[in-house]
Amino acid sequence: MIPLLLTLMMFGLGLLLAVAGFPMALGRVGRNSIYGFRTRKTLSSDHVWYLANRHSGRRMILAGAAIMLLSVPFGMVAPLLGKTFAPWLMLALIMVPILWMLASSLKYLARL
């Protein structure tokens, strides 16, 4: 039961991340204090905001898709790993795409 729940949670998180990235990638999110890639630099101008958020939104979609794809093999091996190790592997498989998304977005922002 626990491995199935972890797999569904992982897939759901990836789906949520991908869906949240679409409005950003399409340039539909204006400057605000709640949603988007918010830094001092992005909040300083609409031009930088939209460029950075489009890039970050595309990366969010890719990271979400990667997490959803990784949930499939995770679901196959999670029952073999036990209740102690499976959550840690799930955390690692989630964090790698998210950290890639963040690093890529910050690198892009630095070039603006």
Instruction: Give one word for 38, left, alpha or beta, with left for phi > 0 and alpha for psi -120 to 50.
Output: beta
Question: Quick check: pTM over 0.75?
Answer: yes
Q: How many structural domains compose the chain?
A: 1
Domain that holds residue 93: 2-111
Q: How confident is the model at residue 1, as a pLDDT?
A: 65
In the predicted structure, residue 91 carries a pLDDT above the cut 90: yes
Distance, C-alpha 74 to centroid of its chain: 17
Looking at residue 16, its pLDDT comes to 99
Question: For position 83, what pLDDT does the model report?
Answer: 85
The torsion defined by the Cα of 75, 76, 80 and 82, in degrees rounded to 10, comes to: 0
Over residues 13-60, the pLDDT tens digits come to: 999 999 999 999 999 999 999 999 999 999 999 999 999 999 999 999
Residues 6+ apart with CB under 8 A from 101: 56, 59, 60, 62, 63
Q: What is the mean pLDDT of the chain?
A: 96
- Angle among Cα 6, 9, 52 to the nearest 5 degrees reads 130
Q: Say what the pLDDT of residue 29 is.
A: 97
